A and B are shown apart, each in its own frame.
Chain A
């Protein structure tokens, strides 16, 4: 199972919005509505930010939103804040009943 494709880095200024893409295939992202997104600060464990494409866990800011079109899922962060600077990973359920992660995207808040 190949890793999902994410941009290596994105950046934005405080208050702006950014979008991170996550491209897979019809055997993972495109075939199921089970894409999740994780935020990871340096030296910390990942934190669930979005599940089932667009659902936010309790406690996650509504500045974070998710969507999907075809084989590509997206994470949008609006009203960018300094604390959002982190690595972001997408993940998807696959037709083999496994999980596959994206390569990760480093978000820099300018």
Chain B
């Protein structure tokens, strides 16, 4: 069965970086993309971007451009999301999700997310 298992909770100071991992199993990792979605306390879902596990191409949400980097390690079927220059409003639960969509040469048309990780709480506090 498809599973996405994320790394544990993190506490970071403002200005620091955090790297969250998402280990996939139960499917061919390179046949799909991974999206990252975050949820601030008491707030809604916010799409952060996607990465193709096939070729590493990425597409990030405009508001996070320059601060976020998504990568994959195909040898361990693991996706990573690194967020830099953390601020207090980055405090959130971060989810990875398997991305269903139209996969073409240079990227992905992301249509929906069929499996989700359990979430990783990142707290940014001085």
A interface residues (Cβ-Cβ under 8 A, vs B): 1, 3, 34, 36, 38, 40, 45-48, 51-52, 57, 89, 91, 93, 97-104
Contacts and interface: CB of A to CB of B under 8 A. Distances in A.
A98 B112 contact: no
Contacts of B107: 97
29 contacts: A1-B61, A34-B112, A36-B111, A36-B112, A38-B113, A40-B45, A45-B116, A45-B117, A45-B119, A46-B113, A46-B116, A48-B113, A48-B114, A51-B111, A51-B114, A52-B111, A89-B45, A91-B47, A93-B101, A97-B107, A97-B108, A97-B109, A98-B47, A98-B59, A99-B110, A100-B47, A101-B37, A101-B45, A103-B44
Interface in B46-83: 46-47, 49-50, 59, 61-62
A99 B109 contact: no
Give the secondary structure class of A's interface: strand
A93 B109 contact: yes
B101 to A, nearest CB: 8
A38 B62 contact: no
Contacts of B35: 99
A94 to B, nearest CB: 9
Contacts of A91: 45, 47, 112-113
A40 to B, nearest CB: 8
Interface residues of B, number: 27
Contacts of A104: 44-45
Nearest to B44: A104
B95 interface: yes
Interface string B103-126: 000011111111011110000000
Residue of B35, B46, B116, B118 ringed by the most chain A CB atoms within 10 A: B116
Contacts of A89: 44-45
A34 B100 CA distance: 11
Nearest to B63: A1
B100 A51 contact: yes
